[in-house]
Chains A and B, each alone.
Chain A
Amino acid sequence: MKHQLCVLLVAIGVGAAVCTPPAAAHHSFAIFDHNRTYTLKGKVREFHWTNPHGYIELDVAEGGPDGLAQFTIELTSINMLRRANWKSTDVKVGDEVTAIVAPLLSGEPGGLLLELTVPDGRVLVPPVPAIHTFKRTP
């Protein structure tokens, strides 16, 4: 009930003060667009299993704004990924992947990973706090 109320309050823009989830240890997720997503297909150029965040540098083949060639994808901390059963070997350089990301509000070619489909077909979801508050768009 509290959760549903929070979703409603956040949706109408008044709930942030009372419904903000426990802060992530590193930074606010407010730099990312909560109202649209990109679905990017491409090849992994770099994968960083690092803190405070993991990163994928993606060579984009399809998806996102016209002409988008490269995209920096931020993951949660690797500690949170590990607790969600991710492994450092789940993503490899050269992998063809599909990533659903919440783009940066700044317009720069970067965003937050919400879902990753890896070559063996597994769909990996990072444990982003309050991930349900990111609205998916085509």
Chain B
Amino acid sequence: MAQATTMTSGARALLCALMGLLAVEASAQLANAEPNISGTWERLGGLGGGADSPYVPPREGPPPLKPQYRADYEARRAAARAADERGEPIATHNTFCIPDGMPGMMAGPFPFEILQSPGQVTIVQEAYNQIRRIYLNKPQLPLEEIEPGFYGRSVGQWRDGELHVETLGIKERVRFRDVPHSPAMRITERIRLVAPDVLWDEITIHDPEVLEEPWQVTFAYRRLPDYEILEYVCENNREYADEAGGTRLRIGGPE
């Protein structure tokens, strides 16, 4: 009986060792695997709440613009604040139902959907039905071969459970928070789960012509397990800009 107990202990020890090895292997595989980030997400700390979550990243600093761009940027910001206080906010691209493009579409406040398919990650932003495609394990094209657009051309790779993305080819008119950029702006992202249902997108904007140094902005998102993305068609836009560039609302019905 005592011998049997000893053998059982030995077998248990062996089993434990094997299980330990399997756990280490599983953990390594998990780290290298593509995590499941498919589904719908919304900005954590945005309109849906969650501002007190420990996963809300610290707010970024101001854009490190070079002096020749900074004065103009700050003057525009001051003018925008003054216009808001007068109740005549300066019209922006959104006034005309022009979508945000990259990287503004990652800022919310509307939810977005991530679709993982072989060789591609697709992000569908509810506002303005915006879509960006991230081609996996494909080389980036030279800038001169990418036609400028709102979303540019994105390529990515999974590394240690993080999706590393590079985007080139953003039109100069597509501005994130009214920060100017050159045609050569390069956006890199590290997209990863920081908790089972919390995703971070660490966005870094590289633009040596305009910025003193890369500018990093991080957004956190929470999963919306039951939310189905809705369509968003700008069919009845009544806002317009007056001669001074202020936002106005057309009264009395659709055109």
Chain A positions within 8 Å of B, measured between CB atoms, are: 2-3, 16-17, 21-28, 30-33, 46, 48, 50-53, 55, 57, 70, 72, 74, 77-80, 82-83, 104-106, 108-110, 127, 129
Q: How far is the CB of B49 from chain A (nearest CB, A)?
A: 11
B162 at the interface (CB under 8 A from A): no
17 sample A-B contacts, Cβ–Cβ < 8 Å, listed by A number: A22-B43, A22-B107, A25-B109, A26-B95, A26-B239, A27-B92, A27-B239, A30-B84, A31-B87, A48-B236, A51-B235, A72-B249, A79-B126, A79-B232, A108-B249, A109-B251, A127-B47
Q: How far is the CB of B75 from chain A (nearest CB, A)?
A: 15
Q: Which of B196-241 contact A (CB under 8 A)?
A: 227, 230, 232-239
Q: Which of B90-142 contact A (CB under 8 A)?
A: 92, 94-95, 97, 100, 107-110, 126-128
Q: Closest residue to B77 on the A side, CB-wise?
A: A17
**With the chains together, A106 CA to B244 CA distance in Å?**
14
Q: Closest residue to A129 on the B side, CB-wise?
A: B47
Q: How far is the CB of A17 from chain B (nearest CB, A)?
A: 7
Q: How far is the CB of B54 from chain A (nearest CB, A)?
A: 14
**Is A21's CB under 8 angstroms from B110's CB?**
no
**With the chains together, A104 CA to B88 CA distance in Å?**
10
**Is B233's CB under 8 angstroms from A51's CB?**
yes
How many B residues, CB 8 Å from partner? 41
**Is B251's CB under 8 angstroms from A26's CB?**
no
Q: Closest residue to B99 on the A side, CB-wise?
A: A25
Known: A25-B127, A31-B88. A51 touches B232 (CB 8 A): yes
Cross-chain contact of A26 among B46, B88, B94 (Cβ < 8 A): B94
Cβ-closest 7 pairs across A and B: A105-B87, A50-B236, A28-B89, A25-B127, A30-B84, A30-B89, A22-B109
**Is B252's CB under 8 angstroms from A72's CB?**
yes
**With the chains together, A22 CA to B118 CA distance in Å?**
34
Known contacts A22-B109, A25-B110, A26-B239; 7 additional CB pairs below 8 A are A22-B46, A22-B107, A27-B94, A51-B232, A53-B236, A53-B238, A80-B47
